[in-house]
Chain A
Amino acid sequence: MISRPLEPHRQIVETRIRAIEKGWTNLLRTRWGPEQYADWHRAVHSLSGAAGTFGEPEVSRAAASLEEFLDRAGIGAAPPDGNQVNEIRALIRDIAGSFNRPPSPSQGAPRRGTSAKREASRSTRPDPPDTVPTKIVFLVEDDADLGETIAEQLRHFGYGVRRFETLDGLEEAVRADPPDAMLMDIGLREGRFAGPQFVRTVRGIGGEGIPVVFMSGRSGFEARWQAARAGAKGFFEKPVDIQDLVFRLDLVTHRSSDRTPRILILVDHAETADLLVRILGGRGMEARLLKEPQRLLDTLSEFGPDLVIMDIQLGRYSGPELVSMIRQDEYFFAIPVLFLIDPSIHPSRLTALRTGVEPLLTKPVNPDVLLSAVTVHIGRSRGLRALMDMDGLTGLLNHSRTKERLVIEVDRARRSTSSLSLVMIDLDRFKSINDRLGHPVGDRVLRTISRFLRQQLRQTDVAGRYGGEEFMILMPHTPVEQAARVMDGLREAFSGIRLRAGVEEFHVTFSAGVAAFPDFKDPEHLVEAADKALYKAKALGRNRVSVRKGKKRRRVTGGS
């Protein structure tokens, strides 16, 4: 009797969701192909009819919503327009967001998927504003146990892993659904250097884009040379250090902890606007159209774009004036703005514009030029913010910014009468790790937990490095019990990560204290409460989560 869906079926659903995400991006990127669209539409229909059978009824519903929209909009022979693209993108996000994906096998795992359409009540965590699609890694390792171990560890860091123990079927799999990266043993059952040899063959038939990282039980010149010949992006000797592996995979798959770039488009001409949405959407960016300049400030606050593309003149509003209006607000002073100008612009006006800071793009818009400009400017603005905001080692917010965010978030919670949970995390026995294994190892542990936290927390959550081995997490719209459950799940999952220092394997745990607004009415009391809860967790034996509820109510979970 099948009492619950079989575990592998979750992967089937996840794989199909990802194929739909990628398929859509591909459709936008190339010339519109009605047959391609029909195939993609069929995939959406299939997902709707199947996901519920695999234990994901929310995904079925979300897919059905998308299908309904596609049918009503009558897309097929003609490509969708800008608004339709945005709507489809939002519906695809709903599908991904509705997928119930617990972070790891542990009790108290948070339920991440609720359809955005079923807008959560104040007392539960709403869906993240955007879900980053899972990166897929093909792992080719003939030692099944080792393969499963590595796969499990990679999944902790958000990678979807497909395992192969031989080269059988690997080529077809790469062709059918190319992964974001391959992690491969040099020596396989097929031969001592079967891995690199396979990669060289695959590269010749269109597999160029896939970064490959090799592992090897043998070191020495031959193995490394074979790897290099195959264009390897990394080489790790076994036993493999999962932290190094994850950082390398992040690098080669261009994974940033940043969310999908958001672009706000303020352009009069409908066709130009549609074109921009298509170009940007094809690169996986989220583009929103705004028609009325009067709503600019509200939209900036609510949508939080990384960049604005604007006509140089919008009716009676001049672009540069709108920009100085934006820049009056301290929060938006660093948002990059690109101006679109007509080629027929008067030279003197052009000169005047060129003395400003904002880049100019002439119409008609060249997609490559646009993408390049957008990427560069978002990169710069993020770089600037990073310098100001980020802790250098971990990439989380630094101490001052964390404190500032706390004040902002308490304020927001007060205005929206919602719960804000604060979690203080402290690594257990961290000093002894530093003493015993050295500071470089300690640093890597800090980077690992930071990476782990960013991976497992929602986009709306805030993670900051508060002290040497102390972290603060802010969870808006989350009541204290739920925050505690989430943290307990993370606590358990993190304790399962195998860390390595040379040949020595070790684990690290953390203790956490949780408190929430409005149980505690202001930042100072909130921090104090969470701190006391953390102290309690340590006192009770570490590796646990303690909750402080104000007045006399207290609770402790976890521990071992």
Chain B
Amino acid sequence: MSGALRSILLVEDDVDILDIAETVLTSHGGYTVEACASGEVAIQKAPVFRPDLILLDVMMPKKDGPTTLKELRTIPALAGTPVIFLTAKVQSKEVTQYLQMGAIGVIPKPFIPMTLCETVLAIWNQAFHSDKSEKSIEHHGT
């Protein structure tokens, strides 16, 4: 799946961070964003929303990022949707795990609001305009 990035499913349990990310992505990036404060909500909204990209927090209470992703993948329309993880833990072994789960990139937290859009777009472009086998892209938002 390549082409233009227009809609983003945003999943983040910290509502203050969710708020700022949604604001930046919509007003600065012009994307259509569905903001979800938990994995559960994301699973409910995803089938109807059909995003181009999933932006997913890793550490969330109740249902964490990886678990949420597994469940999202069972929805046919989202089986191949690219995902970018948001996480404070960016040691290389964790990053490798995320990439093995099919992430096209990882954005470390805390991220700088004003560069979030550029970072997301850079990861997107690199995933779909370069050799597909090169999956490991790590961008630093700070």
Q: Do A45 and B110 touch (CB < 8 A)?
A: no
Q: When chains A and B are docked, how far (Å) is the Cα of A45 from the Cα of B64?
A: 14
Q: Do B110 and A57 touch (CB < 8 A)?
A: yes
Residues of chain B contacted by A45 (CB below 8 angstroms): 59, 88
- Pick the contact of A53 from B28, B61, B87, B109 — CB < 8 Å? B109
Query: Contact flags (1/0) for A5-42 with B, using CB distance below 8 Å?
Result: 10001001000000000000000000000000000001
Is A73 an interface residue, CB under 8 A from the partner? no
Asked, given contacts A9-B16, A45-B59, whether A53 binds B88 with beta carbons under 8 Å apart, the answer is: no
Is A2 an interface residue, CB under 8 A from the partner? yes
Residues of chain B contacted by A52 (CB below 8 angstroms): 109-112, 142
Is A213 an interface residue, CB under 8 A from the partner? no
Asked, given contacts A2-B28, A48-B88, A64-B88, whether A53 binds B17 with beta carbons under 8 Å apart, the answer is: yes
Is A285 an interface residue, CB under 8 A from the partner? no
Q: When chains A and B are docked, how far (Å) is the Cα of A12 from the Cα of B19?
A: 12
Query: Contact flags (1/0) for B21-47 with A, using CB distance below 8 Å?
Result: 001100010000000000000000000
Is B113 an interface residue, CB under 8 A from the partner? yes
Asked, given contacts A1-B28, A2-B24, A45-B88, whether A53 binds B114 with beta carbons under 8 Å apart, the answer is: no
Chain B proximity of A143: nearest CB distance (Å) = 28
Asked, given contacts A45-B59, A45-B88, A48-B88, whether A3 binds B114 with beta carbons under 8 Å apart, the answer is: yes
A interface SS class: helix
Most buried by B among A1, A3, A49, A52: A49
Q: Do A53 and B112 touch (CB < 8 A)?
A: yes
Residues of chain B contacted by A48 (CB below 8 angstroms): 88, 109-110
Chain B proximity of A556: nearest CB distance (Å) = 37
Give the interface size class of chain A: 10 to 19
Q: Do A53 and B111 touch (CB < 8 A)?
A: yes
Chain A proximity of B100: nearest CB distance (Å) = 22
Residues of chain B contacted by A46 (CB below 8 angstroms): 14
- Mark out the residues of chain B between 101 and 142 whose CB falls within 8 Å of any chain A CB in the assembled complex: 109-114, 142
Is A361 an interface residue, CB under 8 A from the partner? no
Q: When chains A and B are docked, how far (Å) is the Cα of A57 from the Cα of B114?
A: 14
Residues of chain A contacted by B24 (CB below 8 angstroms): 2
Is A398 an interface residue, CB under 8 A from the partner? no
Residues of chain B contacted by A64 (CB below 8 angstroms): 88
- Pick the contact of B14 from A1, A49, A57 — CB < 8 Å? A49
Residues of chain B contacted by A5 (CB below 8 angstroms): 113
Residues of chain A contacted by B16 (CB below 8 angstroms): 9, 12, 50, 54
Q: When chains A and B are docked, how far (Å) is the Cα of A51 from the Cα of B111?
A: 9
Is B20 an interface residue, CB under 8 A from the partner? yes
- Mark out the residues of chain B between 44 and 101 whose CB falls within 8 Å of any chain A CB in the assembled complex: 59, 61, 87-88
Is A60 an interface residue, CB under 8 A from the partner? yes
Chain B proximity of A37: nearest CB distance (Å) = 14
Q: When chains A and B are docked, how far (Å) is the Cα of A51 from the Cα of B88?
A: 11
Chain B proximity of A10: nearest CB distance (Å) = 12
Q: When chains A and B are docked, how far (Å) is the Cα of A44 from the Cα of B88?
A: 12
Query: Contact flags (1/0) for A42-84 with B, using CB distance below 8 Å?
Result: 1001101111111001001000100000000000000000000
Chain A proximity of B38: nearest CB distance (Å) = 14
Q: Do B61 and A2 touch (CB < 8 A)?
A: no
User: Which residue of chain B has its CB nearest to the CB of A52?
Assistant: B110
Q: Do A49 and B113 touch (CB < 8 A)?
A: no
Q: Do B59 and A53 touch (CB < 8 A)?
A: no
Q: When chains A and B are docked, how far (Å) is the Cα of A54 from the Cα of B17?
A: 9
User: Which residue of chain A has its CB nearest to the CB of B57?
Assistant: A49
Residues of chain A contacted by B113 (CB below 8 angstroms): 2, 5, 53
Chain B proximity of A52: nearest CB distance (Å) = 3
Q: When chains A and B are docked, how far (Å) is the Cα of A416 from the Cα of B61?
A: 50
Q: Do A49 and B114 touch (CB < 8 A)?
A: no
Asked, given contacts A2-B113, A5-B113, A57-B142, whether A49 binds B17 with beta carbons under 8 Å apart, the answer is: yes
Q: When chains A and B are docked, how far (Å) is the Cα of A62 from the Cα of B133?
A: 38
Q: When chains A and B are docked, how far (Å) is the Cα of A5 from the Cα of B23?
A: 13
Q: When chains A and B are docked, how far (Å) is the Cα of A49 from the Cα of B142?
A: 11
Residues of chain A contacted by B111 (CB below 8 angstroms): 52-53
- Mark out the residues of chain A between 380 and 433 whose CB falls within 8 Å of any chain B CB in the assembled complex: none
Chain B proximity of A55: nearest CB distance (Å) = 9
Residues of chain A contacted by B59 (CB below 8 angstroms): 45, 49
Q: When chains A and B are docked, how far (Å) is the Cα of A298 from the Cα of B136?
A: 54
Residues of chain B contacted by A1 (CB below 8 angstroms): 28, 114
Chain A proximity of B141: nearest CB distance (Å) = 9
Residues of chain A contacted by B14 (CB below 8 angstroms): 46, 49-50
Residues of chain B contacted by A12 (CB below 8 angstroms): 16
Chain A proximity of B9: nearest CB distance (Å) = 19
Q: When chains A and B are docked, how far (Å) is the Cα of A42 from the Cα of B20?
A: 20
Chain A proximity of B65: nearest CB distance (Å) = 12
Q: When chains A and B are docked, how far (Å) is the Cα of A64 from the Cα of B112?
A: 17
Chain A proximity of B37: nearest CB distance (Å) = 13
Most buried by A among B16, B24, B87: B16
Q: When chains A and B are docked, how far (Å) is the Cα of A12 from the Cα of B15?
A: 11
Residues of chain A contacted by B17 (CB below 8 angstroms): 49-50, 53
Q: When chains A and B are docked, how far (Å) is the Cα of A45 from the Cα of B111?
A: 14
Residues of chain B contacted by A57 (CB below 8 angstroms): 110, 142
- The contact sample of 11 A-B pairs, CB cut-off 8 A, is A2-B113, A9-B20, A42-B61, A45-B59, A49-B17, A49-B110, A50-B110, A51-B110, A52-B109, A53-B113, A57-B142
Contact surface of A with B, Cβ cutoff 8 Å? 1-3, 5, 9, 12, 42, 45-46, 48-54, 57, 60, 64
Contacts A42-B61, A48-B109, A52-B110 known; 5 new A-B pairs at CB < 8 A: A1-B28, A3-B114, A9-B20, A46-B14, A49-B17
Q: Give the 9 A-B CB pairs with smallest separation, nearest first.
A: A52-B110, A49-B109, A49-B88, A53-B110, A60-B110, A2-B114, A50-B17, A2-B113, A12-B16
